[in-house]
Structure 1
Amino acid sequence: MSRLFEPLSIRDLTVSNRAWVSPMCQYSSTDGLPNDWHLMHLGQFAAGGAGLVMTEASAVTPEGRISPQDAGIWNDEQAAAWRRITTFIHHQGTYAGMQLAHAGRKASTRRPWDGSGTVPEEEGGWRAVGADDQPFGEYAPARPFSEAEVAQLPGQFAAAARRAVNAGFDVVELHFAHGYLVHQFYSPLSNSRTDRYGGDFEGRTRLALEIAEAVREELGEGRPIFARLSATDWEDGGWTIEDSVRLARLLDERGIDLIDTSSGGNTPAPNIPIGPGYQVPLAERIRTDAKIATGAVGMITDPEQAEEIIASGAADAVFLARALLRDPHWPLRAANALGADARWADQYARAKSWR
């Protein structure tokens, strides 16, 4: 029996397998609206057998977008556009998850194929708002949030979460990683505030915990909520795996069900020991020490590798990204390789024999 293809129950959801789609920015929206590209992009993974399909980072406010072309969930028009996509995903027997995000000081930047750096206001950009005014690399410095503005962020995430549910999403993930806003607050490398949202561990993690509390209160008890953390900054004097274990325990107490365990992103050139499954030990450490479910992500490419991650107890699920871009039917191929049953779309069932 393949462990990768065992169901996983979280609150009221039972996901059919543990091969899940990681959030992957597409930089292809206008005014935050998903379109035919997003339907194709996410729909192919649902037809390809993934147990859970996560959207890209979807901004909770217009200024929270990474780029002007980022998707959003800050208004009802966007929620209505997402419903077409969740309906298709559900028709494939798969669950849909939305990642809620605010880019903070890394907002208003060019999408990858348009170059790099900050998009100026005259080209459709805006001044980013962050934990403080320290710039990220060569980006333009952000305006620091006032304390009153920070206090409004949990409500903005909660409102976005409610719209996500109304759009048909089964899972909500809070993007607290990769140098975006909440990571900027909890990392000592990017938070020089002296108010209640800065200073020591308690102050720097306050925003993450307030957002988690607000979203759980908004969604009630039945719906799973994940949080993606950068488990380490990979920098001296930065956020550490020990800090992540401590924060994961506090998030667990506030109703977060799973830590999607990534790393880095808060400094331009961290010393990351990249290799196959390089972040898996971070997921295992959080799962073991914080006693919370985790997802592993990062250079997970082979079915046997994914199977070992789950079977060894390193994580409860694997999030796949580039492997799925290369092969949207990776879960179906993995099921065949591991001798497991997998759900095939009726239209594709003729290929099930792999002969």
Structure 2
Amino acid sequence: MSYVASRLSAIRPSASMVASQAAKALRATGVDVIDLGLGEPDFPTPDHIIDAAFRAARAGETLYTAPAGTPALRAAIAEKFRRENGLSFGPDDVTVANGAKQIIFNALMATLEPGDEAILLAPYFVSYPEMVKLLGGTPVTVECPAETGFRLTPELLEAAITPRTKWLFLNMPGNPSGAVYSRAQLEALGAVLARHPSVLVLSDEIYEHILFDGREFVSFAAACPELVERSLVVNGVSKSYAMTGWRVGYAAGPAPLIKAMNVVQSQSVTSVCSIAQAAALAALEGPQDHVARFRAAFEARRDLVVAGVAKIGGLSLPAPDGAFYAYIGCGALIGRKTPQGTVLADDAAVADYLLKHGRVSSVPGVAYGLSPYFRISTATGEETLTEALARIDAAVGALE
């Protein structure tokens, strides 16, 4: 007797969670492992956000909310889009969910028909293809190599669109690459999409505030206002405000799409935790100085890792434009032998070797659709990153 639905047969668990769990399992045996598999800030949630949650709980804000979120939070989100992105959305154009991942899940559940295609840009966030497959769609992978800055070009986009294309996924800054698009680059993609009016755009902008080298963030919908009626702008408080565990994501888009997503939410989780919504409201409306402080720390960590990887023979790392990951090229390690005589056949083998021999947890590039690479999170302290780089250097140096 099988308890598992057939639709799960092609779905893989989150690769970053798998890597983190493997690190925890080794730690449980007494092995000192540095876990760089999961991407979440190591900063505590700012005090004023925690205080707002406490006050909300004390005030009795502990009941169900509307599936779309509280009116106050949706108004604050609409104001955030106006203030920071130059986008005009009303409260009915906004929805709140348990993290940006659930926003994406709800959107796909509400729109995908069997066989509909979603264009994913490799390297992509590990959950994108699995959610598309789980909800009856077909992922179409477009490889965006380091030579393109890990960015989609208009030519690649045009070649990938078919009559079955339902969604184009954008992620900027990108996880795992850190790639960022300029306004001109987004406009060039918009010109292609203008010729294909049935294609929807999901712009995942969760790392919006984590930009380096003085770059300016431009939302896809702001760069291509003529496409706003078929764009879903996804964001949340997890990364910029160090609130990963609070699980609050949000999105804005065409009212009919948002309404359909709210129907999905009403029949799944009902709503987001009311206290977490109060915290998210405080994050968006309160002091923003910590956002800049976090960003500066992430940039310093980026610089440390880029400089460290440059000193390790056989590895390469173009400086990421944003986010807090390093997508490290390891092609020169493929085919080399470990001290135990095992040949490293691919980047999955490299990541496994770094975990068991170097005691550093990473995620192989195959999980992101583009090999040979491995991803480490740089969202941890400089002392930890320095030690991790030393361990990786020693492990690479031990290869034959």
Structure 1 and Structure 2 fold alike (TM over 0.5): no
- Relative to its length, the structure with more helix (as a share) is 2
TM-score if structure 2 supplies the norm length? 0.27
TM-score if structure 1 supplies the norm length? 0.30
Q: Which has the higher contact order (CA 8 A, sep 6+)?
A: 2
Query: Which one has a bigger Cα radius of gyration?
Result: 2
